[in-house]
Structure 1
């Protein structure tokens, strides 16, 4: 049985099975990236629900794994050289899992880097811009009721980025063509999230991006990805 005692987070969220990947997350656009990837890869894992309402992501135990206090994070008891490894940042986790199993990323070097660049496109653009749009459009709407600039700025930049994605997806089933990869996973969770969490489908004019809309539907109807979107479940 793996010894995870070096990770203080396991004191607050004990591992029932320390021999499998431990996932610390929530059903947010960033959080579900990892559960979707784990489901797609068929890896055994144990999800732990991190409550934003209780500010658990800022607890000393959680920050011992991710000092930035953000979900998701994982512990893999079977890391490099057979030693446990803890990781945070969703993009880094996706890359680690894909390379660990040899799936969800092209095998050739050129394809691998092309895939990684689209992962970074999401991390640097799609996620932050859609997140800021959602914050001002919904979460902080009362604070900017007399100032339309924040919503307009992030709406317009989000639409521009969706246009970039539209251009990439025209004539392609997935971002990398015929292969579903971590580039799709990291991106569709945010395009979906801007709709279901922020109600942004109309104001962001998803209808003007038919390739994106069709791709999003393909992503969310994949059985494994659909399962991952509902993990972790809030404990009763």
Structure 2
């Protein structure tokens, strides 16, 4: 009986905690006062998440398609659609493609809300806890769906700005593997294979170096 309980407990922990070799390990670096203030304003946003499309019909089409693709990973319809609306809102307000963010989440956490990496990164977008100290407040819980996505998108936007729009290098910074091709290629590959929703030409092709 005791052994069965142990097995059950381990299985439960396995569903809550994911240690992945590609989980985020952002480097803690000094921020200028202006950058810190900008990121703090972004984190403090309290507007309700919503789809940002030219028409409601376009938003519904996107939500239905992304929901269909995500169904196996997130079976609960209400939670899945709330997650997708939040991804779209937080990514769009940060000036990032929401589909790319879905690719990043797939690689970082496998869409596990309570994923924790071997270096302590947390949640869907594997945010390092030092960011709460740097730009947030003590009551910020990185396992909270919207807070995690808001932090992740804000941090990635910061790295894109540092790299002057070079998404490939920004992804390397996000993962703490700047200069190495494996992680950016995984994210961009997941984006292109599973989440691409654009008729435009592929802009960020994976690189070999």
Q: Taking structure 2 as the reference length, what is the TM-score of the superposition? A: 0.28
Q: Taking structure 1 as the reference length, what is the TM-score of the superposition? A: 0.26
Higher strand share: 1
Larger-Rg structure: 1
